[in-house]
Amino acid sequence: MATADELRELMRTEGAAVAENTQGFNTGRYDSVADLEDYEALKRAARSIKEDAIEELPDLLDQLTETVEANGGTVYIADDAADANDYIRGVVDERAADRVVKSKSMTSEEIEVNDALEADGVDVVETDLGEWVLQVADEAPSHIVAPAIHKSRESIAELFNKQFDPDEPLETAEELTRFARKKLGEQIIDAEVGITGANFVTADTGTMALVTSEGNARKTVAATDTHVAVAGVEKVIPTVGALHPFIELIGRSGTGQDITSYVSLLTPPVDTPVVDFTDDETPLSEFESDRDFHLVLIDNGRLEMRDDEHLRETLYCIRCSACSNSCANFQSVGGHAFGGETYSGGIATGWEAGIEGLDVAEEFNDLCTGCTRCVNACPVGIDIPWINTVVRDRINRDKDAPGEWLVDGLTPDEADDGAPLQKRFFGNFETVAKLGSATAPVSNWLADTTVARQAMDRILGIDPRRDLPTFERETLVDWAAARDSKVTDPERRAVLYPDLYTNHVQVERGKAAVKVLESLGVDVVVPPAPSSGRAPLSQGMVATATDHAERVTETLEPHIEDGRDVVVIEPSDHAMFTREYERLLDESAFTDIAENSYEVFEYVFGLLDNGGSVDSLSTVTGAEIAYHSHCQQRTLGLEAHTVAVLEECGYDVVTSDVECCGMAGSFGYKSDYYELSMDVGDRLRTQLRDDGVQDRPVVASGTSCLEQIDALLERQPRHPIELLAT
C-alpha cells in the first residue's frame, strides 16, 4: 500500500496533470452522454450483451475460432502470459522480423510482450503517442486509456529534447506531435509485424473492433504483413450488430468524445495490399495482399474469474476509464498509486485480484472509498465498489488476526476476525460511539488529549490533524423517548432511523428532522436500532455488515408491518438500505426495507408534493445558500429532492459538483490518507469559495461531508433539515 509519503510525492509530481486531464474527461463524459436520447437504454443493452457473452463464453470462443480459421487466420488461446509470449515470439521469429510495431493494448501490457520480444533482440516500437512517450521515458502507464496522463507538455518536451536533440528544441503540443508522427511514421513503414489489441471481437464474422483516435492502429495493420491481435478471452461478443451500443458508449464514457476518430472494424486478413514503401515503380494495386493473421486470446486467470461469483462482473469491463475519471481519489493521485501491475482505477481491483492475485490488489484497494460515483458512469453497469469490498474482505481474511486486546474488545463477533486493527476500529465504530455517549463529556476530554491522539495515531492510524467527533450525552433516541408526539391525527406514520452519528454526535439534525416531519403531519417514532453496517462494509468486513443488516431489518420490520415509512437522515445509511443490502440480505427482506425507505428530503419532497404545506415549515425569501450533496445520495438520484425542497422554502441554492468531498467515512481520518483526503477536499473548497458562493452559508447532507467542510472552511456547515425546523 502506498504510504502517506509516497502519495504526497505523487500528488506533488503528477497530481496537477492527472487532475486536469481526468476532470476534463469526466466533464466531457457528462456533456457527451447528455446528448444521447437513450443513454440508459444503451447501457442496459451493453450490459446484457456482455452478461450473455460471458455466460456463453466457451461456445463463443469455439465459434470465433472456427470463423477466424475459415477466414484464413489462426487463433491461439493462451493459458497465461508466458504461453502467449512464447506463441508471439514464435510468430515473430518465423517471420524473421527485426521490428514489431504496436498499437496501444492493455492486454499486451499485462503479458509484458515487449520485454519478451526485446529479449530476443527484436525492436519493439509503441506507436500510440502516449505509449511512445512512456517507452522513451521508461515509465509505466498511469491511466488505461490515456497512458501518459501524468505527464505535462513541458515534461514531454524536455524528455524529447534531451533524448533526440532535435535541431530546433520542441515546445508546443503541435511540434511534439509532428515530431512523433514523423519519427514513428518512418519506423512503421519498415516493420514486418504489427501487434494490436482488440476492444471487441465478434464470433459471427471474426471481426475485431479497434477504438482509436490517432490512426496508428490502422497503420500498424496496413503497413505490415503479419498481424498479431492480442486480447483477453472476455472480448468476444456474438455479432457485428452487437457492437452498436459499445460504439456509441465507449468514447463518451471514457474521454468524453462522442466517438473516437477511428473505429476500425477488421475482418483479417484485410484486403489492403502489402506494399514496399520504397518502391517508386509499381502501382499500389499491383501489390499482393498476402497477410498472416494471428488472434491470440488470453486466459491468464479470466476463466477462473468467470467462475467466481463476485469477480465475474469484472469481465464485462470494456476498459473505457470512466471509473478512473469519475473517482475523486484517482483524480488526485492517478494510476501510479491507484493501480496494480497493469490496470488502474476502481475496476483494477477486480482485474488485478483475478489476474495477479490478492497481494497486488491489496497495494491500492484501500483507495476505493465506496463513494459509488463510478457506478452510474460505467457503461456496462458494473458494481465496482462491491468488487472492491469483496476483495478487501478477502484480503482481510488472508491476514492473521492482530489479536490486540483493544480491538478484540470492540469486536463482538468472530466473523471478521481477519480484519486488521484499524479496519476493525472503524468497522466497529458503533461500540465506540455508544461508549462515547455514555461517558460524555469525559470521553471527549480524554480523546482530545495529546497522549490519546498519539496513541490513536500509532495504534489505529487515526490522523492527529483530524478533529474527532464530539459525543452528546443525550442521544436522539433518549430525547425522543422522553417527549410526546405533537401529532394527533397523522397524515402518515414514520420511523426515523437513528443512524450512528445522528444518534450520538449530530443529535440536533435528528431533532430537527422529527420536528419537520411532525410539522407536516407525520407521526414519528425513533426506536433504538443497530447501526446500518456501513462502517464495517467500508472496511471490507462483509460478515459483520451482514449481521448488522439482519439486525436492522429485524428492528425495523415490525414498524414497516405496522404501516410506518422508514426515514433516513444519513445518506450513506439510506444507500445501505436501498442499494448495498441487496448484496447482504435475501431478496424479500431487501425489497421490504428498500421499498419503504426514504432519504429525509426525498420524504419531505413527497409530503409537499402530496398536499403538505410548505407554510408549516420555516421559510425564507431568497436567502442564499450553498449545498453539497452526498456522493451516494447523488448516485441514487436524490440530490434534486433536497434542492427542490430548499427552493420551495424560498432559498436561492447553488450546488457543488465535485464527485466526493474526500472524507468518505473513515477514510480521511486515516493517517496514511489524510493528505489525499484534503487534496480531494480542496476541489470542494475551491467551489465553495467561488465568487458568489463564498459568503453563502453551507449545508450538506452527509456526516462525513459535514466534517470535511468543517475542516475546509471557516463557515460551519449544517444539515439542510435544520433550516426547515420551526
- Tell me: does residue 354 bind ligand SF4 (CB under 6 A): no
Compute φ and ψ for 718, nearest 5 degrees: -135, 165
Kindly state whether residue 512 participates in binding other proteins, applying the rule CB under 8 A.
no
| Phi and psi at residue 496, to the nearest 5° | -85, 120
Cell 414519528 appears where?
Answer: 524
Please choose, out of 149-157, 440-448, 606-614, 651-659, the segment that lies near other proteins by the rule CB under 8 A: 149-157
8 Å CB contact between 633 and 661: no
What is the total residue count of the chain? 726
Contact positions with ligand SF4 (CB under 6 A) in 328-347: 347
Q: Give the C-alpha separation, 457 to 588, whole Å.
A: 43
Alpha-carbon gap, residue 528 to 477, rounded angstroms: 6
Structural Rg of the chain based on CA atoms: 28
Return the closest-CA partner of residue 581 out of 296, 386, 432, 719: 386
Pick the closer one to ligand SF4 by CB: 255 or 701: 255
Task: Please list every residue from 257 through 276 that binds other proteins, using CB under 8 A.
Answer: 258-268, 270-273, 275-276
| Residue 726 interaction partner, one of ligand SF4, other proteins, none, beta carbon < 5-8 Å per kind | none
Question: C-alpha distances in angstroms, 682 versus 18, 50, 106, 329, 663?
Answer: 15, 38, 32, 12, 11
Nearest to 288 by CA among 375, 225, 365: 225
| Of residues 522-541, those binding other proteins (CB under 8 A) | none
219 binds other proteins per the rule CB under 8 A: yes
User: Binding to other proteins by residue 282, rule CB under 8 A?
Assistant: yes
Which residues, 357 to 386, sit near ligand SF4 by CB under 6 A?
Answer: 374, 377-380, 382, 384
Q: Tell me how far, at minimum, the Cβ of 110 lies from ligand SF4, in Å.
A: 14
Establish how many alpha carbons lie within 13 A of residue 648's alpha carbon, considering only the half-sphere containing its beta carbon. 20
Q: Which is nearer to other proteins, 264 or 326 (CB)?
A: 264
CB of 318 to ligand SF4, least distance (A): 5
What distance in Å separates the CA atoms of residue 259 and residue 250, rounded to the nearest whole number?
Answer: 8
Report strand pairing: 123-126 vs 99-102: parallel
- Per-residue contact flags (x/-) with other proteins for residues 5 to 44, judged by CB under 8 A: ----------------x-----------------------
State the Cα angle at 101 between 98 and 107, rounded to 5°: 120
- Which C-beta is closer to ligand SF4: that of 92 or that of 371? 371
Sheet with 565-568, strands from edge to edge, namely: 522-525, 492-497, 565-568, 597-599
Instruction: Tell me the three cell numbers of residue 43.
Output: 447501457
Q: Would you say 659 and 373 are in contact if contact means Cβ atoms under 8 Å apart?
A: yes
Task: From the list ligand SF4, other proteins, none, pick the one residue 317 interacts with, judged by a Cβ distance below 5 to 8 Å according to partner type.
Answer: ligand SF4
- Of the residues 305, 318, 513, 721, which one makes contact with ligand SF4 according to CB under 6 A: 318
Do residues 11 and 679 touch, judged by C-beta distance below 8 A? yes
- Out of 138, 167, 278, 482, the only residue in the binding site for other proteins (CB under 8 A) is 278
Contacts of residue 10, Cβ cutoff 8 Å, sequence gap at least 6: 2, 333, 334, 336, 337
| Contact partner, 681, from other proteins, ligand SF4, none, Cβ < 5-8 Å per class | none
Contacting residue, 280, 400, 691, 714, with other proteins by CB under 8 A: 280
Binding partner of residue 485 among ligand SF4, other proteins, none, CB cut-off 5 to 8 Å per kind: none
Among 218, 423, 574, 683, binds other proteins (CB under 8 A): 218
What would the x/- binding string for other proteins be over residues 160 to 179, using CB under 8 A? ------------xxx-xxx-
For residue 602, give the nearest of 637, 635, 631 by alpha carbon: 637
Write down the residue that cell numbers 487532475 correspond to. 19
Closest CA to 106 of 79, 126, 88, 121: 126
Distances (CA, A) of 720 to 282, 495, 522, 591: 77, 20, 19, 28
Q: Is 355 in the site for ligand SF4 (CB under 6 A)?
A: no
- For ligand SF4, which residue of 26, 127, 212, 321 counts as binding (CB under 6 A)? 321
Among ligand SF4, other proteins, none, what binds residue 321 when CB lies within 5 to 8 Å by partner kind? Answer: ligand SF4
Residue 604: contacted member of ligand SF4, other proteins, none (CB under 5 to 8 Å, by partner type) = none
Number of residues that bind other proteins (CB under 8 A): 72
Residue ranges in 226-255 that form contacts with other proteins under rule CB under 8 A: 239-241, 243-244, 247-248, 255
CB of 235 to ligand SF4, least distance (A): 12
Residues lying near ligand SF4 in the complex (CB under 6 A) are found at 253, 317-323, 347, 374, 377-380, 382, 384
